[in-house]
Chains A and B, each alone.
Chain A
């Protein structure tokens, strides 16, 4: 056997993929050729080194970034299409037949309705009614952010304004944007953690187990931090914790975000919970986002509440804590804060 042929067989020999006669010929050559013997040993070592290459961790929040980028590109494509292009692109998909039928039905319905409108109602009145019914953003901050659409709420807390936006295309799919904006010109160091467990802990141990999705300085232009909650997961609430410094003091704020905002269950049954666990249960049961200081020293324990109304549940959870709650009008957001003495 020549050296060249022997080298071709290195992999097969190591993987025991050679026929017996070839094994004999190969090994005889190696026994006689010190160069090939050396090469074979090096080859084997190289193979072993390759198998020991370490695994690299993707960046934190990689999946979330991918999902948001995919969604934003799709939205941008849709916006770039004209109305008719969009109608046709949506019609001519794999479900062509059913969509065509539905479109035909819609056209006929629209035709009859328009006759009714023209006969019975001044057109201007119809447009006015639609405008009143259309959802509006309570706070303009989020709507100004690139990619953020639809209603959103914003709050100001110790030098940092923040909002959670769960609307726009994809509502109900568990896609959220956290929008943070400093209230002065100075950049603020901000960390955002996601906690997926029940009974979240806002101490060192809790943060160790949490998913750090953002850590950077946020300038006056603010920062949009997207995160996604999978509907298929058993967990119904994800807790976003925001940590920042303002005037040399550290602040911690938690936002309980339910996967299905606005989707209410029959009620809540809380047994022997601490304050944060109880609020998390309320968030899950009533589909409400709850914002609360995550640094409350006496977070209480032994809270028992049974209720089928969100107001009663809040009352039961907070009655002995020195805290109060208030809803932000027109939203599914509740703020928990200290009672004003």
Chain B
């Protein structure tokens, strides 16, 4: 069987000038320079917003998460020592903001993280009801991307974070391991399981889209 490597990670490499500009913006932020903070936000807003959107599942919540994450960056920029990449630190903050928000919602809702339980080696989502649309419904009103997006939302938090970081943010296994403070082997195996879970969720619609 011929092997075709899918997508070697494509995190854009920063050149020396970019790196130096980023460092200078961070230093100016530490001095309370609001214009530098504005530039820093503009530099990363698209990546952070997209990450938040795929995590939170909708535009409004993504806006809240992304905004709160940047404000947390501003308030704690003095604790960033530069040992890690700034983006690794930034993604960790976004992840934490998102998880905090989920916890806050959990205190208001009864159906939340408890719905995701570890049964054995494989993490299985315990569905309260099968909310997947019927095939007719699919043809009428939902596009493939929306279905995939919905399927991602059904993953447990930690799987979703990894899938989004890897597949929509272009992060490597090493970077995800740093962001989530996990061994790289754990990241790889959990991502494989997450993809398998997604595959299962997408099975009913695959034929409809001739995939």
Contacts and interface: CB of A to CB of B under 8 A. Distances in A.
A62 interface: yes
22 contacts: A8-B192, A12-B192, A23-B3, A27-B1, A42-B203, A46-B198, A49-B211, A50-B148, A50-B167, A51-B6, A53-B167, A56-B50, A62-B41, A62-B45, A65-B67, A69-B71, A70-B75, A74-B75, A173-B34, A173-B35, A174-B38, A230-B38
Interface in A85-112: 93-94
B199 interface: yes
B53 interface: yes
A186 interface: no
A51 B132 CA distance: 22
A10 interface: yes
B6 A48 contact: yes
Nearest to B192: A11
Interface stretch (A13-21, A273-281, A316-324): A13-21
A82 to B, nearest CB: 20
B192 A10 contact: yes
A66 B70 contact: yes
A76 interface: no
A53 B38 contact: no
B102 interface: no
A98 to B, nearest CB: 13
B49 A56 contact: yes
Contacts of A175: 34-35
Contacts of A14: 3-6
B159 to A, nearest CB: 13
A66 B67 CA distance: 6
Contacts of B36: 230, 232
A94 B78 contact: yes
Instruction: Give the interface centre of B33, B50, B199 by most chain A CB atoms within 10 Å.
Output: B199
B112 interface: no
Contacts of A10: 192, 195-196
Interface of B is mostly: helix
B85 to A, nearest CB: 21
B41 A66 contact: yes
Given A71-B34, A231-B35, A43 B196 contact: yes
Contact of B5 (A15, A51, A59, A229): A15
Interface residues on B, range: 35 or more
A45 interface: yes
Instruction: Give the interface centre of B36, B145, B196, B203 by most chain A CB atoms within 10 Å.
Output: B196
Contacts of A16: 3, 5
B188 interface: yes
B202 A63 contact: no
A58 interface: yes
A64 B63 contact: no
A311 interface: no
Interface in B97-124: none
A176 B204 CA distance: 53
Contacts of A57: 46, 49
Nearest to B144: A49
Instruction: Give the interface centre of B53, B54, B195 by most chain A CB atoms within 10 Å.
Output: B195
B38 A64 contact: yes
Interface in B156-188: 163, 167-168, 188
Interface string A19-60: 000010001001100000001001111111111111111110
Contacts of B39: 230, 232
B74 interface: yes
Nearest to A48: B6
A229 B4 CA distance: 47
Contact of B71 (A44, A53, A55, A70): A70
B23 interface: no
Nearest to A37: B1
Given A10-B195, A43-B199, A64-B38, A53 B54 contact: yes
A113 interface: no
B195 A46 contact: yes
B149 A53 contact: yes
Interface string B45-84: 1100110011000010011001100110011001000000
B152 to A, nearest CB: 8
B52 to A, nearest CB: 9
B191 interface: yes
A39 B1 CA distance: 15
Contact of B63 (A39, A53, A62): A62
Contacts of B192: 7-8, 10-12
B49 A45 contact: no
Interface in B1-51: 1, 3-8, 33-39, 41-42, 45-46, 49-50
A53 B168 contact: yes
Contact of A13 (B3, B74, B168): B3
